[in-house]
Amino acid sequence: MAQINLTQCFYIDKTSYPNGLFVSSIETFFQTKDSELPVILKLGNVINDEPNESDVFNYGTVTLYPNNINISSDGTTGTKFTFSTPIFLSPDKTYFFSLKSNSDQYNVYTAVEGENSFGTTNRITSHPFTGDFFLPSLNDYNLSNDEDLKFVINRCVFNSSGSLYLSNDYYSVDSEDPDYESHYNEFFVHEDNDLTPLTSVKFYYKKTTNGDILDTNYTEFTPDTNVKVSSECKLRPDSFFMKIDLETENDATTPVFDTNRLNGLFVLNQVNNDSTGETSTFGGNAKSKYITKMVELLPDIDATDLTAYALLKLPAGSDVKVYYKAAPAGVNIVTDVSYVEMERTPLGTPSTNSFVEYKFTTPTAFVSNDVNYALPDQSVISRFLFKIVLLSSNTTDLPLVKDFRGIALLD
């Protein structure tokens, strides 16, 4: 027996557990206990052959108070320190757990090589290969060469498969009313899982349509990707459901799924197929557009033309138009200058399902556009900006734009 403040190492044998295991609890055996102060167990990694108290596992700390600690006079009654979630231990590695308390009233059972097993005449003749055992020390770990703590490590036994069912608890950012309805036609789910050896995870969803009809069957999807649904759907509490299938080929391992790190982003794409009014000074009927910041050239630099390049993906029924505003110095480009549509030329074979580079140029009769006044020199550009308008007749099949570059050309 030894006063409580101990550290026991143990080894996960790769022959018995080639893929590792999940430990659910550690059981130790007490002879005496304190009346008030608790015992703290910590599970962590061994580094450079010594326990590393700074490398304790998440959820690897368990505190028990005296009313939850069992004692016995013969060492047969154990006390389980159960972790809040199972902890995965890799094979062919050494780990440690420590028992610590501010009380000196705790005593635990140990086995000492050369002595009899407690309450018997059976001599302990060999040192079991559990790992090193460290006794209390003021400055460092004090290795005991002939002693080990009496303990039991309990591992999890998993079924070959199982499913987790979840539903959304969404409340719109636009309203605190739980009955408020929002809509989406695209979603993105982020999750964190740990695929231990010989395990897999699959994700499925059900959605609620605008007609309040819930899908009959689940549809598989890939997390961390944009998922388009076939039509606009309702989003309110309990309108979106997920099924997560967990599978393992070994009863000692399982995939780990953390629901606290699961989140979803639901998007309603605001897009139409109407570009009326987009050549006005501002405004226009298109619902989806992007306006660049104004570029102003250095005082001694004037451009005479503009061009732009972008990679476009244009599904059937969609389009992308690019407009520009250009003016000399001193002109309020926002209020006094109208947009002009640029001409588009593909630099590769047009495609409806992949990105193709396009070049955008000013009309053949280019001038520094102005509708409200005459410029002294309409071929001079010192400031300019671009507007990208996205058009589609289908809100779930959108055009995409990337790598947009606008260039001012000099003589």
Q: Average pLDDT for residues 111-128, to the nearest whole number?
A: 66
Q: Average pLDDT for residues 345-359, to the nearest whole number?
A: 94
> What's the pLDDT score for residue 48?
84
| Exposure b/e, 79-100, CB count within 10 A at least 16 = b | bbbebeebbbbebeebbbbbbb
> What's the pLDDT score for residue 394?
82
Torsion of CA 337, 343, 346, 351, to 10 degrees: 80
Give residue 307's pLDDT band: very low, low, confident or very high (50, 70, 90): very high
- Say which residue, 137 or 186, is predicted with more confidence: 186
Structural element, H or E, at residue 244: strand 241-248
Residue 191 · residue 233 · CB < 8 Å: no
Give residue 129's pLDDT band: very low, low, confident or very high (50, 70, 90): low
3-state helix, strand, coil in the chain (%, to 5): 0, 50, 50
Instruction: Please determine, for residue 396, whether its predicted confidence score (pLDDT) is greater than 80.
Output: no
Is the pTM higher than 0.75? The answer reads no
Instruction: Please determine, for residue 348, whether its predicted confidence score (pLDDT) is greater than 50.
Output: yes
Q: How far is the C-alpha of 47 from the C-alpha of 9, rounded, in Å? A: 11
Instruction: Please determine, for residue 266, whether its predicted confidence score (pLDDT) is greater than 60.
Output: yes
Nearest in space to 185 (alpha carbons), one of 398, 391, 401: 398
> What's the pLDDT score for residue 1?
40
The percent of residues above 70 in pLDDT, for the chain, comes to: 87
Instruction: Please determine, for residue 341, whether its predicted confidence score (pLDDT) is greater than 80.
Output: yes
Q: How far is the C-alpha of 388 from the C-alpha of 402, rounded, in Å? A: 11
Instruction: Please determine, for residue 160, whether its predicted confidence score (pLDDT) is greater than 60.
Output: yes
Residue 192 · residue 268 · CB < 8 Å: no
> What's the pLDDT score for residue 370?
45
Instruction: Please determine, for residue 171, whether its predicted confidence score (pLDDT) is greater than 80.
Output: no
CB burial class (10 A; 0-12, 13-18, 19+) of residue 225? exposed
Instruction: Please determine, for residue 408, whether its predicted confidence score (pLDDT) is greater than 80.
Output: yes
Residue 109 · residue 75 · CB < 8 Å: yes
Helix segments in 278-392, DSSP class H:
none
Q: How far is the C-alpha of 46 from the C-alpha of 131, rounded, in Å? A: 10
> What's the pLDDT score for residue 373?
33
DSSP secondary structure of 38-61: -EEEEEEEEETTEEEEEEEEEEEE
- Say which residue, 116 or 42, is predicted with more confidence: 42
- Say which residue, 110 or 127, is predicted with more confidence: 110
How does pLDDT run across 8-28, given as a tens digit for each residue?
A: 999 999 999 999 999 999 999
Question: Which stretch of 142-146, 205-209, 239-243, 398-402 has the lowest confidence by average pLDDT?
Answer: 142-146
Instruction: Please determine, for residue 368, whether its predicted confidence score (pLDDT) is greater than 50.
Output: no
> What's the pLDDT score for residue 397?
80
Rg (CA), the chain: 35
Instruction: Please determine, for residue 369, whether its predicted confidence score (pLDDT) is greater than 70.
Output: no
Residue 189 · residue 223 · CB < 8 Å: yes
> What's the pLDDT score for residue 232?
84
> What's the pLDDT score for residue 119?
63
Q: How far is the C-alpha of 408 from the C-alpha of 380, rounded, in Å? A: 11
> What's the pLDDT score for residue 139?
55
Class of domain 288-409: mainly beta
DSSP annotation of 123 reads B
Cβ contacts of 216 within 8 Å, gap of 6 or more: none
Q: How far is the C-alpha of 410 from the C-alpha of 351, rounded, in Å? A: 33
> What's the pLDDT score for residue 287?
93
**Would you kindly state where each structural domain of the chain is located, as residue ranges?**
2-155, 161-267, 288-409
Instruction: Please determine, for residue 208, whether its predicted confidence score (pLDDT) is greater than 80.
Output: yes
Q: Average pLDDT for residues 347-351, to the nearest whole number?
A: 92
Token reading at 353: 């399902």
Residue 190 · residue 263 · CB < 8 Å: yes
Q: What is the 3-state secondary structure (H, E, C) of 161-183?
A: EEEEEEECCCCCCCCCCCCCCEE
The percent of residues above 90 in pLDDT, for the chain, comes to: 57
Instruction: Please determine, for residue 318, whether its predicted confidence score (pLDDT) is greater than 90.
Output: yes
Q: Average pLDDT for residues 46-73, to the nearest whole number?
A: 91
Class of domain 2-155: mainly beta
DSSP secondary structure of 317-341: TEEEEEEEEEE-TT--TTTS---EE
Question: Which stretch of 94-98, 223-227, 367-371 has the lowest confidence by average pLDDT?
Answer: 367-371
> What's the pLDDT score for residue 379?
62
Q: What backbone phi and psi angles, to 5 degrees, belong to 303?
A: -95, 160
Q: How far is the C-alpha of 77 from the C-alpha of 93, rounded, in Å? A: 29
Instruction: Please determine, for residue 308, whether its predicted confidence score (pLDDT) is greater than 70.
Output: yes
Residue 408 · residue 326 · CB < 8 Å: no
Q: Average pLDDT for residues 244-271, to the nearest whole number?
A: 88
Please determine whether the domains at 2-155 and 288-409 fall in the same fold group of CATH: yes
Structural element, H or E, at residue 82: strand 79-89
Q: Average pLDDT for residues 186-204, to the nearest whole number?
A: 89
